[in-house]
Chains A and B, each alone.
Chain A
């Protein structure tokens, strides 16, 4: 049982990040849908001159959904969960509260600058590290501020033993700091030469070395932005929402430390059949297979936490989101390792099966979990009942359908294209020219675009639901213990 002493938690920073989660989510996903339709209907590339081409917009999409949507959701969750499982309120430290506000302000400024610079074509080209050096410096500053918040709050905590979610937030903070710093090392050219654009920089690394550092970073950005903080969320929100206890402490330990150690080795699987040494490629491949186990460990721990709770799954839409998130997490974390097997990679690399894999992970696991988190937090932060269950249910089915359309169309597209590239005829000639393999993909590109549109529509419904909850939801006089109240 909890201590009877009531702590007055402060959610002001969490609320701010919740708003940006929704706004940047709408921005990032809308651009994603535009990109998807541009591939199916290329004349859409001309909508805004040089600023509307697929190539110019793509980094905007990735940065908006990763640094905008996902990070906002993660920070919103931290500023909520942290206080509650450490049993200390931000109100008790004006310093930490100021740090939190500064974190938020600098973060938003960075995202706005990112949108502007990327639209203008100012980019380093390195994936998920496109921002030029002044923005990188800003990122480092507010990332450190977040670290201050995490360790500062732990410093004044009442609950001495750190809960699982905190482990995962710590891992996120430390690993991303290390990865981001090393991969974004760049030399501003105007500083050295005194000429040219002040914002332009050149990468510290070249060629194969750059590729290694980039994918050491890139793959582990997946690990520590798309996995660990989201696991932190599900370990809090699923037991809390359902009132269930976590299935196995031992499993959570093995899965956590296993994940941390193994994940870092798997980056080599982005470099298979490249000019990176054979042994690194093999290492990446084999470690990726091992990685299936710690990943599934967390998912299984969560599914087993829901033992006997089928009825809750049927009646509580938030639980539907979280259980399905676990399922898509499992799909994604076995699909990835299988794609990392050298022979499969020979087909899959460079094809659409890879974005397919990315999106069943980000839409199914990351997206669903962040939305579930916001749905759980909002009524407690704003003391309002969720506005509409029917809208929420509609959203759930629309988005699930969208995800299935997305990954199945891209699965087929990728494998088709990969096999077509390798096909020989009886005369020993390649059968297909490159453009043949593009033309054949149009129906799949169309299905994927529609799938993405369904997901975006669901997200807009979600935004509307949250907005109405905050404005006109029934006022709650008592904080809900487990199941989040929703108007039927």
Chain B
């Protein structure tokens, strides 16, 4: 019997420790749900093992006895024994608790899962605002990385390079093919921020398109093409863009990232949907910060 008890204890400990260790970092003690889950798990294992051992003990050390009822079925008889006291008490207790919980505690607290959610969000926002009132650039970069890995890396890859052309390569601002396509086809992605859009074929000569595409894809480094002023008229000489007119084509400015996240974008690869209302302003700035850092 002692062997079984020790075995039971070892089983309980290994299951609980195993769970705790494997879950590792994800086990945030501040989240009450995690704590309650672990308490529940502990309860399952301890209660089952101890009750089973109690009855195994009776199999080993007690004897069947009692008054037999006068009926038998195919040789099977029944004792008229009382119900186990502990069991009876617990049954009644759970029923009483049920009445209390449902009719006293529940309506009085007027629980609502939506209400619980609203509280959760309010608290999160309060904590966020307090903590990140004036974030440093380093903080923004780390925050951006954190958000990027969860929200953006699914399509853009953990390294941001676009998973073999399935999405835009964020380690550079834009590729030569993409610039060419935009010049040839025009673009009208950001209907709210840049309502006018860009008409197609503002450059007509193949040579000019080549040169400008090369120049923009290189981050506006090197020799300025002769037709560049055509583009600079809207995009600025340094490619920094102009409010209401044209986006930044040199780098991932805060303004550009906010625009893309709010409006989505479609290009030669495919379509990126809008992520409006997913992130707050600080988080959007953070992503822009992070993207600028992986380009370097």
| Chain A residues with a Cβ under 8 A of chain B | 1-2, 84-85, 87, 159, 161, 163, 236, 239-240, 243-252, 254, 258, 273, 278-279, 281-283, 286-287, 289-290, 292-294, 296-297, 300, 303-310, 313, 323, 327, 330-331, 334-335, 338-339, 341, 343-344, 346-348, 408, 411-412, 415-416, 418-420, 422-425, 427-435, 481-482
A302 to chain B, nearest CB (A): 9
Q: A84 contacts B37, CB within 8 Å? A: no
Q: B150 contacts A433, CB within 8 Å? A: yes
Set B18, B44, B132: member contacting A412, Cβ < 8 A: B18
Q: Which B residues are in CB contact (< 8 Å) with A425?
A: 146
Q: Which A residues are in CB contact (< 8 Å) with B59?
A: 303, 306-310, 313, 323
Q: B19 contacts A308, CB within 8 Å? A: no
Q: A335 contacts B44, CB within 8 Å? A: yes
Q: Which A residues are in CB contact (< 8 Å) with B294?
A: none
Q: B15 contacts A411, CB within 8 Å? A: yes
Q: B79 contacts A245, CB within 8 Å? A: yes
* A-B pairs with lowest CB-CB distance, top 5: A245-B77, A427-B143, A303-B55, A343-B36, A248-B81
B177 to chain A, nearest CB (A): 28
| Chain B residues with a Cβ under 8 A of chain A | 15, 18-19, 22-28, 31-34, 36-37, 40-41, 43-44, 47-48, 51-52, 55-56, 58-64, 66, 68-69, 71-84, 87, 90-91, 94-95, 97-98, 101-102, 106, 111-113, 124, 127-128, 131-132, 139, 142-143, 146-147, 149-151, 153-154, 283, 286
Q: How far is the CA of A2 from the CA of B95 in the complex (A)?
A: 41
B128 to chain A, nearest CB (A): 5
Q: How far is the CA of A323 from the CA of B59 in the complex (A)?
A: 11
Q: Which A residues are in CB contact (< 8 Å) with B64?
A: 244-245, 247, 305, 307-309
Answer whether A341 and B74 are a contact pair too, CB < 8 Å, given A306-B59, A416-B22: no
Q: How far is the CA of A281 from the CA of B74 in the complex (A)?
A: 44
A448 to chain B, nearest CB (A): 14
Chain A residue at minimum C-beta to C-beta distance from B31: A422
Q: Which B residues are in CB contact (< 8 Å) with A341?
A: 36, 40
Q: How far is the CA of A400 from the CA of B75 in the complex (A)?
A: 31
A329 to chain B, nearest CB (A): 10
| Residue of B36, B76, B283 most packed against chain A (CB within 10 A) | B76
Residue pairs across A and B with Cβ atoms less than 8 A apart, 23 shown, are A2-B72, A240-B75, A246-B78, A248-B80, A248-B83, A254-B83, A258-B91, A282-B106, A287-B98, A289-B94, A293-B87, A297-B87, A310-B59, A334-B43, A411-B15, A418-B37, A419-B23, A419-B27, A420-B23, A425-B146, A427-B132, A428-B127, A433-B149
Q: A294 contacts B91, CB within 8 Å? A: yes
Q: Which A residues are in CB contact (< 8 Å) with B154?
A: 433-435
Set B37, B62, B124, B151: member contacting A307, Cβ < 8 A: B62
Q: Which B residues are in CB contact (< 8 Å) with A279?
A: 102, 106
Q: How far is the CA of A282 from the CA of B108 in the complex (A)?
A: 14
A2 to chain B, nearest CB (A): 6
Q: B78 contacts A416, CB within 8 Å? A: no
Q: B142 contacts A247, CB within 8 Å? A: no
Q: Which A residues are in CB contact (< 8 Å) with B128?
A: 428
Q: A240 contacts B124, CB within 8 Å? A: no
Q: A431 contacts B87, CB within 8 Å? A: no
Set A304, A412, A427, A481: member contacting B55, Cβ < 8 A: A304
Answer whether A433 and B26 are a contact pair too, CB < 8 Å, given A236-B76, A347-B37: no
Q: A429 contacts B146, CB within 8 Å? A: yes
Q: A423 contacts B62, CB within 8 Å? A: no
Answer whether A293 and B94 are a contact pair too, CB < 8 Å, given A307-B58, A412-B19, A427-B147: yes
Q: How far is the CA of A292 from the CA of B86 in the complex (A)?
A: 13
Q: A338 contacts B43, CB within 8 Å? A: yes
Q: How far is the CA of A281 from the CA of B116 in the complex (A)?
A: 14
Q: How far is the CA of A292 from the CA of B51 in the complex (A)?
A: 13
Q: Which A residues are in CB contact (< 8 Å) with B75?
A: 2, 240, 243, 481-482
Q: Which A residues are in CB contact (< 8 Å) with B139?
A: 427
Q: Which A residues are in CB contact (< 8 Å) with B61?
A: 308
Q: A304 contacts B58, CB within 8 Å? A: yes
Q: How far is the CA of A353 from the CA of B75 in the complex (A)?
A: 42
B85 to chain A, nearest CB (A): 11
| Residue of A303, A331, A428 most packed against chain B (CB within 10 A) | A428
B192 to chain A, nearest CB (A): 26
Q: A300 contacts B63, CB within 8 Å? A: no
Q: Which B residues are in CB contact (< 8 Å) with A283?
A: 102
Q: How far is the CA of A408 from the CA of B59 in the complex (A)?
A: 27
Chain B residue at minimum C-beta to C-beta distance from A328: B48
Q: How far is the CA of A487 from the CA of B180 in the complex (A)?
A: 83
Q: Which B residues are in CB contact (< 8 Å) with A327?
A: 48, 52
Q: Which B residues are in CB contact (< 8 Å) with A308?
A: 58-64
Set A292, A338, A420, A427: member contacting B142, Cβ < 8 A: A427
Chain A residue at minimum C-beta to C-beta distance from B146: A429
Q: A248 contacts B111, CB within 8 Å? A: no
A323 to chain B, nearest CB (A): 8
Q: How far is the CA of A237 from the CA of B56 in the complex (A)?
A: 19
| Residue of B78, B82, B90, B283 most packed against chain A (CB within 10 A) | B78
Set A163, A254, A344, A416: member contacting B91, Cβ < 8 A: A254
Q: How far is the CA of A37 from the CA of B6 in the complex (A)?
A: 34
Chain B residue at minimum C-beta to C-beta distance from A305: B64
A379 to chain B, nearest CB (A): 16
Q: A286 contacts B143, CB within 8 Å? A: no
Chain B residue at minimum C-beta to C-beta distance from A84: B74
